[in-house]
């Protein structure tokens, strides 16, 4: 029970701290509406499950123990975040909120969430710490349960964030600023991407 509580608190702290996943969900909420955002949250949760499998099988340690593999992952992550950020900042069309996600399919939302989380260095380092240092890795079944819990909790958390940002109250108060919010979030994603790139040379 103590071990599970440790998992709950560490995961809660990690998932609630601002990072690429959070900014992506916010961006999706502003741009594509609730349905796409929930599917994006599902993609992020699936990414957490993917990280769990890598950690349980030891593949994550293999990746992080090799500087070349880790550098490749960082470049992929930063490149993807840079693409998302620049596409938001450079958008010149007038902002039109799409409450039903009509311009974007749910599948696109899922794929973006999945890729963003899989290439999230922050998530990778979290699972190295959790599965490699904190938990007893001898019990594989228990680790699988923890992975499923974190995937579900992540999905619920980001779905909640998406629900709040697409609520009628939020839209009625802030919809006139949505275009500026999206560009600001895009700029933050660009900064995160540049930090990852610069860290390779420090």
Q: What is the pLDDT along the chain (202 residues), one digit of tens a residue?
A: 677 787 888 888 778 877 788 888 988 887 788 899 999 999 999 999 888 888 777 766 666 666 777 677 677 767 777 877 787 777 655 445 555 544 568 888 899 899 888 887 777 777 777 776 566 656 677 778 888 999 999 999 999 999 988 887 777 676 666 667 767 777 877 887 787 677 666 5
Q: Which two tokens stand for residue 196?
A: 């990852």
Q: What is the pTM of this model?
A: 0.74
Q: Which residue has the tokens 């992550």?
A: 77
């Amino acid at each position: 029970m103590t071990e599970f509580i440790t998992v709950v608190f560490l995961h809660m702290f990690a998932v609630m701290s601002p990072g690429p996943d959070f900014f992506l969900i916010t961006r999706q909420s502003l741009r594509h509406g609730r349905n796409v955002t929930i599917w994006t949250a599902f993609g992020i949760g699936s990414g957490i499950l993917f990280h769990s499998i890598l950690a349980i099988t030891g593949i994550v340690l293999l990746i992080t123990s090799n500087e070349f593999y880790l550098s490749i992952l960082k470049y992929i992550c930063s490149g993807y975040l840079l693409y998302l950020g620049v596409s938001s900042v450079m958008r010149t069309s007038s902002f039109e909120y799409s409450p039903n996600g009509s311009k974007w399919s749910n599948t696109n939302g899922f794929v973006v969430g999945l890729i963003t989380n899989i290439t999230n260095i922050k998530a990778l380092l979290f699972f190295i710490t959790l599965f490699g240092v904190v938990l007893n890795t001898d019990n594989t079944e228990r680790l699988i349960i923890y992975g499923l819990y974190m995937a579900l909790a992540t999905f619920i958390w980001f779905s909640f964030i998406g629900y709040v940002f697409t609520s009628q109250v939020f839209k009625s108060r802030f919809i006139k600023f949505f275009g500026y919010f999206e560009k600001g979030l895009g700029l933050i994603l660009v900064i995160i991407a540049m930090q990852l790139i610069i860290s390779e040379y420090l």
